[in-house]
Structure 1
């Protein structure tokens, strides 16, 4: 649905985070006198009132009946359409759209590269943008990575390429996609999607529904191998011997060694596979990926993703606050094999199975596991039998400061203090970035120096 089609309709915006703010700004830019209702929190209402906009109605509570008074609701990504009141309002005929969906409906120049996956989508999207810019192309980096697409609604001159990260909440918004990239699939956000099967189906809408001209897929993920790709979509595989893949730390294109990834700021096998995906994407666009591969050396890693904060008293503190699944916590541990590690895990409890994490700890014990957050007690009980005989130190912490203190005590003057929670940050924190800043502060580093995502916007 294009923004112009909202004119004269009963329109609401539900949620006034950054996506909601971008939606209201876009409506006011294109339709300055359009009546709009904003459903928001009490804290968000005050800056809205300060606008003194006579066509703006502010509601600090929401239910299905209130939503049903509108024809179209621009919904924030974090609000699930599968639960009340959204599901009830949809039965009453309310049409829900995402802010990203409004952007995708607008005609624009530039090729659209959309990237999703259960892990690694931000890094891969940033890598694609970095490599495209290194080729001399004007490129936009936006989406779920931290810059809503609507904030780049009328950017001039238009970029040649759009590198867009999409979460599973947003993949259904995508349309007219040139290249769709899916990195991997494992259970995530089950509270939003309602089931594992629906999560996979929603995630894969980027390929099955958006009708991309080309899909870049991971040959190492069986669900992607078995995916019924639309007939008009050509597939380019990475993580396959015929394409871009890894042999130890060396990046290969077919049988040709191209880049030693040990000298790139992308720790861990999963990050190096992200580089393979990015190079496969560059190749899919018809560019010289082999020639551009060396540009990965100048890539600046993103904050909160295995981000080394530095050394203090012999201890390296690593901020991996973006980690929201047990699998991602395991991937983080894999990066520090051979070193003494105290890992801090736990957060919002989505009911995910921590059995695989327990198996990893049983097979390769670490120096310490400190649990915290809502699911901390459940993870603690899962690991407790494994800690018998002092195989590793196990403790529960009430707050970040206590968790950091316990980890540092165990490590002494040698090792890695690793925040890789394997769980979302809420309700304790607003988002993973706030959690990462808190960890940095507790570990003795300046939290304001670790936050900027390099390259957002158009360059």
Structure 2
């Protein structure tokens, strides 16, 4: 092992061809990203101890990952006792943490106290890029809309003939994308606030924070810390920091960011764009940022019909997502026709304002992905008369503003989940005349009860909307399972058998 001090040696680890051999690394958490990190480090000669608090006798994905790493020769330690502090008998140079691990987790606290650097897997991925010609990153964060935007962006990049993928919080670990044997031209990277918290070196080609609203306060400790983490998406950006004109907090994050010389601030707006903005003129998505005469002219990117894709209606937040994706694509040099073709090819992911059924003139919509108040409000404002299905795990979020703004659209509310009383109290304050049904059941039949109540409250022309404003883990494995349960219950109510299902490998609630 090199005699270079560890701190100096880590500074030199800036690409996958650097000397990682002999580095003593603790990989904290053996989820998909943790496994990818342990595997990549071990392959490069690092001494890896991989720890996870899961059951050491488990036969599921955790057990399979542990067995593979053990066969490869890594030191794998499973069980709660192995995450109560740094591994015994191992003098670590570095900790790679899974994004969900909070800064107050005992192992991470002990590492910090001992002066051991802690990186997230995104930081590791950035430092393992190719030494020559690495794929640039276009980075996306925000309280809501990340996955839709990163998927739209990937479609635009591919429509331009580029070898591109979406990675990060979207599902594919960014490390796998970076180390793919067939290198990508460019990578669209979705980043959660957790991932950004543990990242410091990333220098994206272009970046965006779509919006900022209270979320994950329980993890970050305060809204201010959450917003600070979101703002890190702009740090070191080379070409364009894209912000939401309708959300002044995102522009402030750009103003506060340390960026590279020549980087521009580019706004996206649902209204008429000014210079250095993309926006909407009549039914046209227009670019006044990446054209030569931006003070007097604009480039047509797409029409509103192109944005609709497979969705039956054009929700304002999805239009905003399309504009943000277009701004990032244009910052990378994608021509207008590829922006249009990418939007035409896009199809929404499951559980995002997805039509489930129409029964007796009532439309049933699954937006189970609305796991915080900001997302739920965007969903509610897409419809005129709503029977709202809400509740779950609020994660410390305040629902007063949500209820106050949505109140005029509410026909009735059906509440579920552990924190439903907080929503009930807000409804009593801001919508006292709206009928509210409390469903205390948490068993597998709870959603059937919810649907029966909602059907009795809805009138022809109404929308019954599952937009919980809360995470799902109090009753379901994830928001996908919650949406599936809603769709299945609606199908039973309509007499159509079981409802549709979708893969339930969701992140970022």
Q: CA 1:450–1:179 in 2, change beyond 3 Å: closer, same or farther?
A: same
Q: CA 1:380–1:103 in 2, change beyond 3 Å: closer, same or farther?
A: same
Which sits farther off after the overlay, 283-292 or 317-326? 283-292
The residue number in structure 2 matching 1:38 is 51
Which sits farther off after the overlay, 94-103 or 122-131? 94-103
Q: CA 1:99–1:290 in 2, change beyond 3 Å: closer, same or farther?
A: same
For residues 421-450 of structure 1, the C-alpha deviation after alignment (integer angstroms, 9 at most, x for no partner) is 111222433332232223233332544347
Gaps of 5+ in 1: 454-459
What count of residue pairs does the alignment treat as equivalent? 447
The CA distance in 2 between the partners of 1:248 and 1:319, in whole Å, is 30
SS at match of 1:443: helix
The residue number in structure 2 matching 1:213 is 239
2:185 corresponds to which of 157, 160, 178: 160
The alpha-carbon deviation at position 247 of structure 1 amounts to 5.3
Which sits farther off after the overlay, 391-400 or 413-422? 391-400
SS at match of 2:184: coil
The alpha-carbon deviation at position 144 of structure 1 amounts to 0.6
The CA distance in 2 between the partners of 1:387 and 1:206, in whole Å, is 37
SS at match of 2:256: coil
Contact 2:372/2:394 (8 A) holds in 1: no
The residue number in structure 2 matching 1:372 is 416
The alpha-carbon deviation at position 312 of structure 1 amounts to 4.5
The residue number in structure 2 matching 1:185 is 212
Q: CA 1:365–1:292 in 2, change beyond 3 Å: closer, same or farther?
A: closer
Contact 1:111/1:162 (8 A) holds in 2: yes
1:135 aligns with 2:135: no
The residue number in structure 1 matching 2:392 is 347
1:150 aligns with 2:175: yes
The alpha-carbon deviation at position 105 of structure 1 amounts to 0.6
The CA distance in 2 between the partners of 1:16 and 1:430, in whole Å, is 18
The alpha-carbon deviation at position 77 of structure 1 amounts to 0.5
Which sits farther off after the overlay, 296-305 or 379-388? 379-388
Contact 2:157/2:342 (8 A) holds in 1: no
1:225 aligns with 2:289: no
1:115 aligns with 2:151: no
For residues 284-307 of structure 1, the C-alpha deviation after alignment (integer angstroms, 9 at most, x for no partner) is 112223663254223111122112
- Relative to the length of structure 1, the TM-score reads 0.87
The residue number in structure 2 matching 1:448 is 501
Which sits farther off after the overlay, 216-225 or 111-120? 216-225
The residue number in structure 2 matching 1:456 is none
Which sits farther off after the overlay, 178-187 or 18-27? 18-27
Gaps of 5+ in 2: 1-9, 289-296, 492-497
C-alpha root-mean-square deviation of aligned residues, in Å?
2.8
The CA distance in 2 between the partners of 1:330 and 1:248, in whole Å, is 25
The alpha-carbon deviation at position 81 of structure 1 amounts to 1.5
Which sits farther off after the overlay, 121-130 or 304-313? 304-313
For residues 325-364 of structure 1, the C-alpha deviation after alignment (integer angstroms, 9 at most, x for no partner) is 2121111011112xx42221112132221111221243x1
2:85 corresponds to which of 60, 64, 67: 64
